[in-house]
């Protein structure tokens, strides 16, 4: 029996079960001391703030160097973001201005950070909303230096432990002893937080967004982290502890068993091959992609090149980053998606003419932005075409709503090809060009779109969101985000049929592709490629190898002939192929 008082529900950030003793990094609140200062003290207080900034910068640079040496480039890049925040006028200018109003530095910093936090709460995009925690962490470091305080380091861990903290910043992880840390549990954060990314990279369980777990545990408490369910259990009774230990053993055995599938094809028992590729956000993920048996990269998100910087990336930066992926993935192919960002994200990089939009999700972003600002688009296309001479590369346009955008994008692509030819630069002249089908208008005209491209890839995250009119990160309506809704299944079916009708292959790269429950349905519908998170590759591959195409088609026929949605959901959730 679970004691509900000791069960906390959070957000599953990295799968698996971890059991261990709590290593507690105490929650740290901002100092709320409000002290009025005289005009004569303002200069002295401002200098004290500047000294704290300088000390924080020195600490961060030292941290960045250590991160680079111990954890590699990926995490060092996360530290770059912290340095940029430190230089931001929001910190350097606004806090000094607040001090000049006659308050002490600590209080001025607190008030400015409070304003920034409120602004970030209003951002729709989950990734950018999560960055408020980065700013918060930088603020705490400045505050520590103002007050002369030090944070407890992870290097103090001397036995296998679960790290419980308010949040984990890149600097917290430089002294991380990987063999000692078995899991993370934090008060704040989401699926794209630093803690989540770190846990996924280390392949250890993590639950974030637990709100007040640091106040609920003591150092040395026994804790269970269930990264599959997003649950933390504090000091569980022996029966619960034993049950979880058995479940942990089962899951570890399943992982060892799944590892045997790494080099085997994703092929049904009656011989139908499905390509299993991986979704990646940066080149550092390729090691994990290959270790889990991927047959390519089905979605290379390139937005990371535009984050945490003050100018647009050059063609050479694009090229060098793509080259790392393309060469390591040979002989497999890599689908590079052109940028899927909103103009508001690029206005800080020198892009002029961007105006504030009330609803950026439906505004100037992705292919729309590229067509409005062709110089940005051409820079990326030149790099993609050049790297196509070094491996197997495909281009994919995001957020396509109709064939007009495809033709306009391809016209620019043809111009870039002519430029490269005139410069004597090589590229793959037969390079495949595809589109993401993620807007209902594209789904409903997929037959027309398929005639214009070489492949279709279904982006389920936005397709579900736009079709059902549900913001999946809005807690008030998130329960309405239903991948198995009949409208979604019908759209997927029609997209696949439209693609095949035009003689084109059809893949899926949204989160739905990573869900093993959906795999039999997608196989039955005739999907050709599934691009999933690296950790999910073995699970999806196992299901495909356990079913026949005939059984999958029968399942699809049963689902689509039913008018009972609840029955469909039960049928899907009782899939015999999950065992």
Burial 285-314 (b: 16+ CB within 10 A, else e): bbebbeebbbbbbbbbbbebbbbbeeebbe
Tell me if 295 sits within 8 A of 574, measured CB to CB: no
Element (H, E) at 232: strand 231-234
Cα–Cα dist 397/543, whole Å: 30
Question: Catalytic residue among 144, 166, 292, 509, which?
Answer: 509
Bridge-partner residues for 436, per DSSP? 457
Q: Which tokens sit at 309? A: 């910087």
Catalytic residue among 133, 144, 166, 194: 194
Beta-strand pair 7-9/529-532 = unpaired
First to last CA, the chain: 25
d(CA 519, CA 536): 11
**Per-residue b/e over 471-488, b at no fewer than 16 CB within 10 Å?**
beeeeeeeeebebbbeeb
Do residues 90 and 22 touch, judged by C-beta distance below 8 A? no
Query: What residues contact residue 414 under an 8 Å CB cut-off, 6+ apart?
Result: none
509 tagged catalytic: yes
Strand order across the beta sheet in which 181-186 lies: 7-9, 231-234, 222-226, 17-24, 161-165, 181-186, 206-208, 11-14
- The rounded Cα 244 to chain-centroid distance in angstroms is 28
Phi/psi at 343 (5° precision): -60, -30
Question: Is residue 194 annotated as a catalytic residue, yes or no?
Answer: yes
Three-state secondary structure readout of 411-430: HHHHHHHHHHHHCCCCCCCC
Helix (H, G, I), strand (E, B) or coil at 245: helix
CA distance 311 to 349: 4
Run of H or E residues at 147: helix 132-147
Q: Are 351 and 286 within 8 A, CB to CB?
A: no
Do 86 and 310 contact (CB within 8 A), yes or no?
A: no
The Cβ of residue 98 has, within 10 Å, a number of other Cβ atoms equal to: 20
Between CA 370 and CA 366 the distance in angstroms is 6
Measured distance CA(351)–CA(193) in Å, rounded: 27
294, 537 contact by CB (below 8 A): yes
* Residues found in the chain: 579
**Which residues form the catalytic set?**
194, 509
């Amino acid at each position: 029996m679970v004691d509900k008082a000791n069960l906390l529900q959070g957000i599953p950030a990295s799968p698996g079960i971890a059991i261990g003793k709590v290593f507690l990094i105490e929650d740290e609140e901002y100092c709320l001391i409000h002290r009025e200062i005289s005009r004569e003290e303002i200069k002295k207080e401002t200098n004290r703030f500047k000294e704290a900034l300088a000390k924080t910068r020195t600490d961060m640079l030292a941290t960045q160097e250590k991160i680079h040496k111990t954890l590699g480039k990926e995490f060092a890049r996360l530290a770059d973001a912290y340095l940029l925040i430190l230089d931001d006028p929001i910190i350097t200018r606004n806090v000094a201005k607040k001090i000049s109003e006659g308050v002490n530095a600590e209080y001025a910093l607190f008030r400015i950070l409070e304003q920034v936090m409120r602004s970030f709460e209003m951002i729709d995009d989950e990734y950018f909303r999560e960055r408020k925690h980065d700013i918060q962490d930088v603020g705490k470091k400045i505050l520590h230096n103002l007050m002369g305080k030090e944070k407890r380091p992870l290097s103090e861990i001397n036995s296998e432990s679960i790290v419980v903290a308010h949040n984990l910043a890149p600097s917290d992880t430089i002294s991380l002893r990987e063999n000692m840390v078995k899991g993370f549990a934090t008060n704040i954060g989401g699926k794209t937080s630093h803690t989540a990314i770190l846990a996924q990279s280390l392949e250890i369980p993590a639950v974030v967004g637990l709100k007040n777990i640091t106040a609920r545990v003591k150092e040395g408490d026994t804790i269970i982290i269930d990264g599959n369910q997003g649950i933390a259990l504090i000091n569980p009774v022996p029966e619960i502890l034993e049950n979880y230990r058995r479940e942990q053993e089962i899951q570890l055995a399943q992982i060892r068993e799944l590892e045997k599938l790494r080099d085997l094809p994703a092929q049904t028992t009656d011989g139908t091959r499905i390509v299993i590729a991986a979704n990646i956000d940066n080149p550092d993920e390729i090691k994990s992609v290959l270790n889990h048996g991927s047959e390519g990269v089905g979605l290379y998100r390139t937005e990371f090149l535009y984050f945490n910087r003050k100018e647009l990336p050059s063609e050479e930066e694009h090229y060098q980053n793509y080259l790392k992926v393309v060469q390591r993935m040979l002989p497999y192919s890599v689908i590079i998606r052109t940028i899927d960002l909103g103009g508001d994200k690029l206005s800080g990089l020198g892009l002029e003419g961007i105006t504030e939009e009330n609803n950026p999700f439906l505004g100037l972003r992705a292919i729309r932005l590229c067509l409005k600002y062709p110089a940005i688009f051409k820079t990326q296309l030149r790099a993609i075409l050049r790297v196509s001479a070094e491996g197997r590369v495909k281009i994919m346009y995001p957020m396509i709503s109709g064939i007009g955008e495809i033709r306009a994008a391809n016209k620019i692509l043809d111009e870039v090809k002519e430029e490269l030819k005139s410069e004597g630069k090589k590229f793959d002249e037969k390079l495949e060009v595809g589109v993401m089908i993620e807007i209902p208008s594209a789904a409903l005209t997929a037959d027309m779109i398929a005639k214009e491209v070489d492949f279709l890839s279904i982006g389920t995250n936005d397709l579900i969101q736009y079709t059902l009119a549900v913001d999946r990160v809005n807690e008030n309506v998130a329960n309405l985000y239903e991948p198995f809704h009949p409208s979604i299944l019908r759209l997927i079916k029609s997209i696949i049929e439209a693609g095949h009708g035009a003689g084109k292959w059809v893949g899926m790269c949204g989160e739905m592709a990573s869900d093993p429950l959906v795999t039999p349905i997608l196989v039955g519908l005739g999907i050709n490629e599934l691009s999933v998170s690296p950790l999910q590759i073995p699970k999806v591959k196992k299901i495909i190898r356990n079913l026949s195409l005939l059984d999958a088609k029968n399942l699809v026929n049963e689902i689509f002939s039913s008018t009972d949605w609840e029955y469909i959901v039960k049928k899907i959730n009782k899939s015999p192929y999950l065992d």
